[in-house]
């Protein structure tokens, strides 16, 4: 096969989805939503769309009514005709963005730890990952480390706020620093904002598309997988300036010819940004609190994530085992599966002292995890 396939990371978490886990396991490893429940009106609308005969290709850029709905929910009023493209999940959006922005050999800055598909998307585009470390416990960005990593070879930077796996947010100040550096080196920004709906403690999500200096060079990746608990529907979007959108749509057409038609119609028929959005976020904040409390009580070290659906926890006080072995031990001894952080680093060894916990789960699941982990200590 092609060399780019060998560049792909090991795919630890995709393996978990494929292989399954022993029955009775409390699986806090993968981010597949088990909470909140999928909005029933979306399910009704999808059935109605199928019964109404929505079975064929649509406008590859996305059903216009859905693009309008997406645009209406975003800051700084994007034009749905020229700045929004519906994609097959954020996963396609990421790959399309990297393919559009990066030539083979170009450097792409990735803030690390990061979502593992950032590494894959860069590899598929033939780019080279330049990791910039974020430091425990709060995983905030050090502007000096970023400045030191950027230069004439930098073609793009991938941002992710709220972050998977850290739950960290990029605030206005971080984004202003990033904007200045990206202007200096003429760098394209791929801003993964798929967790934008989940921001806690009165904080606000700040999109790259609303920051002067960043907006005109940013491709924003969005998704309904987590915000509306429909990860299997494969619905996401790209928001980018018109000249970028033209390029993105060319690649999107060449790779997928469009996202699933009936599901697009369903999402277009429902108020995606209604009060349910705040309710889901408030409920997720409560899950965050439970997850942080159970981890600390069980001897892990973690900062409370400011957003997203994950917490990255240190295992130094608990074990000398590297995280992949420790995760297997926990599975055997407590029936609780966590994700080793090795998937979230360009060099997996850097993730041997942390695990990631997905807390988009029903309260009972988190309670069971708590009982099992505390029984072990």
Residues of this chain that interact with ligand PMP (CB under 6 A) are 31, 89-91, 115, 160, 164, 192, 194, 223, 225, 231, 236
The residue among 30 and 313 lying less far from ligand PMP, judged by its C-beta, is 30
List of residues 6+ apart from 165 with CB closer than 8 A: 113, 114, 115, 310, 312, 339, 341, 344, 356
Q: Smallest distance, Å, CB 98 to ligand PMP?
A: 12
Q: Smallest distance, Å, CB 317 to ligand PMP?
A: 27
The residue among 178 and 318 lying less far from ligand PMP, judged by its C-beta, is 178
The residue among 240 and 373 lying less far from ligand PMP, judged by its C-beta, is 240
Q: Smallest distance, Å, CB 223 to ligand PMP?
A: 3
The residue among 31 and 305 lying less far from ligand PMP, judged by its C-beta, is 31
Report the C-alpha gap between 331 and 329 in whole angstroms: 5
List of residues 6+ apart from 329 with CB closer than 8 A: 319, 321
Report the C-alpha gap between 220 and 210 in whole angstroms: 11
The residue among 166 and 365 lying less far from ligand PMP, judged by its C-beta, is 166
Report the C-alpha gap between 247 and 83 in whole angstroms: 11
List of residues 6+ apart from 60 with CB closer than 8 A: 249, 252, 253, 256, 257, 258
Q: Smallest distance, Å, CB 320 to ligand PMP?
A: 30
Report the C-alpha gap between 328 and 339 in whole angstroms: 10
Q: How many helices (H) and strands (E) does the chain have?
A: 13, 12
Residues 238/268, Cβ–Cβ less than 8 Å: no
Q: Smallest distance, Å, CB 176 to ligand PMP?
A: 22
The residue among 326 and 344 lying less far from ligand PMP, judged by its C-beta, is 344
The residue among 268 and 318 lying less far from ligand PMP, judged by its C-beta, is 268
List of residues 6+ apart from 306 with CB closer than 8 A: 162, 167, 168, 169, 199, 200, 201, 203
Tokens of 103: 């030539």
Tokens of 298: 């069980």
Q: Smallest distance, Å, CB 304 to ligand PMP?
A: 19
The residue among 298 and 346 lying less far from ligand PMP, judged by its C-beta, is 346
Q: Smallest distance, Å, CB 338 to ligand PMP?
A: 16
Q: Smallest distance, Å, CB 74 to ligand PMP?
A: 16
Per DSSP, what are the bridge partners of residue 354? 314
């Amino acid at each position: 096969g092609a060399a780019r396939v060998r560049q792909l990371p090991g795919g630890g978490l995709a393996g978990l989805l494929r292989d399954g886990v022993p029955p009775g396991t409390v699986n806090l490893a993968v981010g597949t939503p088990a909470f909140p429940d999928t909005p029933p009106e979306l399910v009704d609308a999808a059935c109605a769309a199928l019964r109404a005969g929505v079975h064929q290709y649509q406008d590859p850029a996305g059903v216009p009514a859905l693009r309008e709905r997406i645009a209406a929910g975003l800051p700084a009023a994007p034009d749905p005709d020229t700045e929004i493209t519906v994609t097959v999940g954020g996963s396609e959006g990421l790959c399309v963005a990297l393919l559009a922005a990066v030539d083979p050999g170009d450097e792409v800055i990735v803030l690390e730890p990061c979502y593992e598909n950032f590494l894959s998307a860069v590899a598929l585009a033939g780019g080279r990952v330049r990791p910039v470390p974020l430091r425990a416990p709060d995983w905030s960005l050090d502007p000096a480390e970023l400045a030191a990593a950027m230069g004439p070879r930098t073609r793009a930077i991938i941002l992710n706020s709220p972050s998977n796996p850290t739950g960290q947010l990029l605030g206005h100040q971080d984004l202003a620093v990033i904007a200045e550096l990206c202007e200096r080196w003429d760098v394209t920004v791929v801003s993964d904002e798929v967790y934008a709906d989940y921001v806690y403690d009165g904080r606000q999500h700040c999109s790259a598309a609303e920051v002067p200096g960043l907006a005109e060079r940013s491709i924003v990746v969005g998704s309904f997988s987590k915000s509306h608990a429909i990860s299997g529907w494969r619905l996401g979007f790209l928001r980018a300036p018109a000249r970028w959108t033209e390029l993105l749509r060319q690649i999107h057409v060449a790779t997928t010819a469009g996202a699933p038609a009936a599901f697009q119609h369903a999402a277009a028929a429902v108020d995606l940004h209604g009060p349910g959005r705040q309710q889901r976020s408030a409920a997720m904040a409560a899950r965050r609190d439970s997850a942080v409390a159970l981890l600390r009580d069980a001897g892990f070290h973690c900062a409370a994530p400011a957003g997203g659906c994950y917490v990255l926890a240190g295992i130094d006080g608990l074990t000398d085992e590297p995280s992949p072995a420790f995760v297997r031990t926990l599975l055997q001894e407590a029936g609780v599966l966590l994700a080793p952080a090795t998937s979230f680093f360009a060099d997996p060894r850097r993730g041997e002292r942390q695990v990631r916990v997905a807390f988009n789960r029903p309260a009972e699941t988190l309670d069971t995890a708590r009982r099992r982990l505390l029984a072990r200590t």
